A and B are shown apart, each in its own frame.
Chain A
Amino acid sequence: MNQQTQGKKQFYGAYAEFADVDSLMAAAQKVRKAGFQRWDCHTPFPVHGLDKAMGIRPTRLPWIVLAFGATGVAAALAMQYWMNGIDYPFDISGKPLFSWPAFIPVTFEMMVLFSAFSAFFAMWIINGLPKWFHPLFRKPEFARVTDDRFFVAIEARDPQFHPERTVEFLRGLGAVSVDVVEEPAESGGMPRKLVYGLVVLSAAAIVPPAMMFEARHGTTTKPPVNLVPDMDDQAKFRPQGFTPLFPDGRMSRPQPAGTVARGTLAFGDDVRQGMDGDRFLESPPAEVTVDRALLDRGEKRFDIYCAVCHGMDGRGEGPVAVRARDLAALGQATWVQPTDLTDDRIRAMPIGEIVHTIANGKNTMPSYGGQIPPRDRWAIALYVRALQKAQTR
């Protein structure tokens, strides 16, 4: 009677233990019909139909997951739009700044991530997890819930709960044992040992990042640690590298004398190199018919191959040049400004020399002979002339 004087709150509730599934199901139906609301069943394995017998309403979890999944989609699209479209506009292979097909994989992953996390954590929150202790654990009988016994527990929070009448009611359901369960004297906090363990672990977790920080920002005389040595240092020939394999020590091999690209055999040095003997041609050879179509072609090829450095207008202000100059100003790159194709030196240059430069490269400009077939070289050179004429100073 001590309990009654101190009020209901001392109880967690009451439980009834059943020996088999059938009596549990029958009991669950009766508990539901009796109008209890704060109660639950505990079983060693999932019991089909128990949800229905208990009258559990459908879980809200799917709606939470749907909302978070949709949030993930919206967040991913917004993030990528902002990153590539606004904060750091970056032209990737000529595609629009906001090109949705490229953003779908990240959007998909973010949807999955948000959905999975929300399903996992919302399930924990809805179920009141993590829980370190449950009052039912105080009863030695309850240990068999993971083995071969089935339990119904009615909580004291239920408005209909009464320590004696509810126990009496449960006894009437054919239970093996029935008892009240007291609320634990102290709230089930984290076990002290676990707290200490976590503190030590989190302190230890700081060590590796600290070491990494030290290594990145300090100096050392020791050689760097290569975790994957054959990836950092690959056994391969590099363009300007040295090798003892060949007498001249060069890694990149020069083409054998007289090599001609496939499909260009029909053309002589005049069409391919813009040269007649050791003299640059002043005008296109007979094989190149100068007409509107060739100039249009030249414009397209110029915009594809040349404009990234020399700029669409040929003044040497292409996006690569601008970006490289920015980096050079920060000391992050060295850069030689591309030639302004409209300056007087190039205006005075024989057209054959421009073709020759396209075919073979000059100074830091590499050879484009491999990408640009002979007629296109002339088309581009003629278009360069057109650019010069269009930009008189």
Chain B
Amino acid sequence: MSDSQPILRDCKAGDLAPKMARFGLVVGVLGLLLGVVLGYGVGGEEVREHFWFAYLASYSWLLTLVLGTLLFSILMHLFGAYWSVTVRRLAEITHAGLPLVLLLGLPLLYPLVSHEVTVWQWTEFSHDGAAAEAFEGGALDDYAGGDEEDYYEVLEKEEHHHLVSHKLSYLNVPFLLGRIVLYVVVWLFLSRFFFRKSLAQDDAPDFEPTRSLRRFSAPAVILWALTLTFFAFDFLMSLDETWFSTMFGVYVFAGAFMANFAWLIVVARFLQSRGKLVGLITPEHYHDLGKLMFAFVCFWAYVGFSQFMLIWYANMPEETHWFQNRLVPAWSNWSVALMLGHFILPFVGILSRHVKRNPTLLAAWAGFLLVMHFVDHYWIVVPNLTRGMESAGNPFGWMDLALVVGMAGMLVFATARRAAGLPLVPIGDPNLKKALAFENA
């Protein structure tokens, strides 16, 4: 196969891989260090809490993107898609960086188990079992009309604690630690399986690995969907401990999968600008990646709006406060920016097939959407820091920027490190020939 396609003889990254890995590592370490210095070295108590929210926002940006690439390789096997064979390896080397990405999540265990910083309010209840139990008994029943506390304040408090105390059998630190172990095991296993099997095909072209990858892809999708959904519930939705939305997992998935396509387009365009993969990834492949990116821009908006509209329309206090926190002056600009930048502008921008078939233009939109993916996650996470504080301004600043640039650097590092020495297309895949000849009708 590789002999009959002269184009395939040189499809490795060569010395570009170590160069990019070095660059990514420097940017990553510098960015994260700067973030830590701004958060812990310079700032006071308040900045410390802000630091952890910002860290979580940029980390969930990174993790969801990488998990998106994992889903891409799973799905392409599930569908038996052949058009995507030429770009699948790019997804594979990205999600093969999962071990490093998961290491970057380790610091988040600190606010989870420590009393010093509170990111997830419910951990306070989980730590303080007695307080939780007291409220479970019902503070209002003991309220005898005294003057110490206002009746309605007690009522509100009881409603709040009533909701939270019902969740404590799920939202408690030991159980969450157990779930984290489960997520990590599932993700590492999936990523390793889909990466290694594909690599094994490179040296010995054979249909067997494809067959077993296809067979396992269906249960793998279920595992992926469940772990991502519960990751979203545990780390992002539970930031607001009383809030609940059954659509939240789908919302995070939609953004993650869109980010995957944006990332693949950016990487492919970058490699081609450095003379790699020329003739292997054609406008036909960009066209399809672009179509799917466009589709998931729309799907994200569809899910996001459905979630908003149901809550806005029903107008029930236990649900609306999540959006209310994002419509206060400090965040309304972000909400509008998200609606414009994550949907309306890219919708108009990528609608035309001429844009999707123009790699440079498409990559520009993809890069923009990667930024919007961060805006999305910052918008999910950080308003929980300022909730209830009506006078608070928007906290975005140099520290947040440093952290996300650091995470992006680590993404480049993790990906480039894996790319070293590997063919950037799965040269042993039985469908590669079809993929190279692929044409959109």
Contacts and interface: CB of A to CB of B under 8 A. Distances in A.
A94 B155 CA distance: 25
Contacts of B141: 262-263, 265
Contacts of B308: 101
A287 B158 CA distance: 21
A48 B439 contact: yes
Interface string B335-369: 00000000000000001010000000000000000
B151 interface: yes
Contact of A101 (B151, B155, B309, B441): B309
B301 to A, nearest CB: 10
Interface string B287-319: 000000000000000000100110011010000
A211 interface: no
B315 A46 contact: no
B441 A48 contact: yes
B140 A102 contact: no
A162 interface: no
Contacts of B144: 266
A62 B352 CA distance: 9
Nearest to A46: B441
B270 interface: no
The interface centre, meaning the residue of A101, A102, A266, A373 with most chain B CB atoms within 10 A of its CB, is A266
Contacts of A104: 305, 309
The interface centre, meaning the residue of B144, B151, B309 with most chain A CB atoms within 10 A of its CB, is B151
B145 interface: yes
Interface string A42-55: 00001011000000
A266 B441 CA distance: 76
Interface string A61-87: 010001000000000000000000000
Given A93-B315, A101-B312, A287 B305 contact: no
Interface in A222-275: 262-263, 265-267, 271
B204 to A, nearest CB: 32
A267 B144 CA distance: 8
Interface in B126-184: 138, 140-141, 143-145, 151, 155, 158
A60 to B, nearest CB: 14
Contact of B313 (A66, A101, A262, A287): A101
A375 interface: yes
Nearest to B144: A266
A73 to B, nearest CB: 12
B140 A263 contact: yes
Nearest to A271: B145
Q: How large is the interface on B (under 10, 10 to 19, 20 to 34, 35 or more residues)?
A: 10 to 19
Contacts of A93: 313, 315
Contacts of A271: 145
Contact of A266 (B143, B155, B439): B143
Contacts of B312: 101
Contacts of A266: 143-145
A267 B143 CA distance: 10
Contacts of A66: 351
A105 interface: yes
Contacts of A62: 353
A266 B139 CA distance: 12
B313 A102 contact: yes
A94 B312 CA distance: 12
Given A101-B309, A105-B309, A263 B441 contact: no
A49 B440 CA distance: 10
Nearest to A263: B140
Contacts of A105: 309
Nearest to A287: B145
A70 B315 CA distance: 30
B305 A375 contact: no
A271 B143 CA distance: 15
Contact of A267 (B145, B155, B305, B351): B145
A266 B140 CA distance: 9
Contacts of A48: 439, 441
Contacts of B158: 263
Contacts of A267: 145
Contacts of B353: 62
B313 A375 contact: no
A46 to B, nearest CB: 6
Contacts of A375: 151
Interface in A80-138: 93-94, 101-102, 104-105
Contacts of A265: 141
A263 B305 CA distance: 38
Interface in B321-345: none
Interface string A1-39: 000000000000000000000000000000000000000
Contacts of B140: 262-263
A105 B309 CA distance: 9
Nearest to B312: A101
A21 to B, nearest CB: 14
A59 to B, nearest CB: 11
B32 to A, nearest CB: 39
A265 B312 CA distance: 35
A94 B313 CA distance: 10
A265 B308 CA distance: 39
Given A48-B439, A48-B441, A93-B315, A263 B309 contact: no
Interface string A271-309: 100000000000000010000000000000000000000
B143 to A, nearest CB: 6
Given A262-B141, A263-B140, A266-B143, A102 B441 contact: no
A373 B154 CA distance: 13
Contacts of B145: 266-267, 271, 287
B315 A263 contact: no
Contacts of B151: 375
A265 B142 CA distance: 9
A171 to B, nearest CB: 31
A66 B351 CA distance: 10
Nearest to B308: A101
B332 to A, nearest CB: 15
Contacts of A94: 315
A89 to B, nearest CB: 18
19 contacts: A48-B439, A49-B439, A62-B353, A93-B313, A93-B315, A101-B305, A102-B309, A104-B305, A262-B138, A262-B141, A263-B141, A263-B155, A263-B158, A266-B143, A266-B144, A266-B145, A267-B145, A271-B145, A375-B151
Top 6 closest pairs, chain A to chain B, by CB: A263-B140, A266-B144, A287-B145, A266-B145, A48-B439, A101-B309
Interface of A: 46, 48-49, 62, 66, 93-94, 101-102, 104-105, 262-263, 265-267, 271, 287, 373, 375
Given A66-B351, A105-B309, 6 more contacts: A62-B353, A101-B308, A262-B140, A262-B141, A266-B145, A267-B145
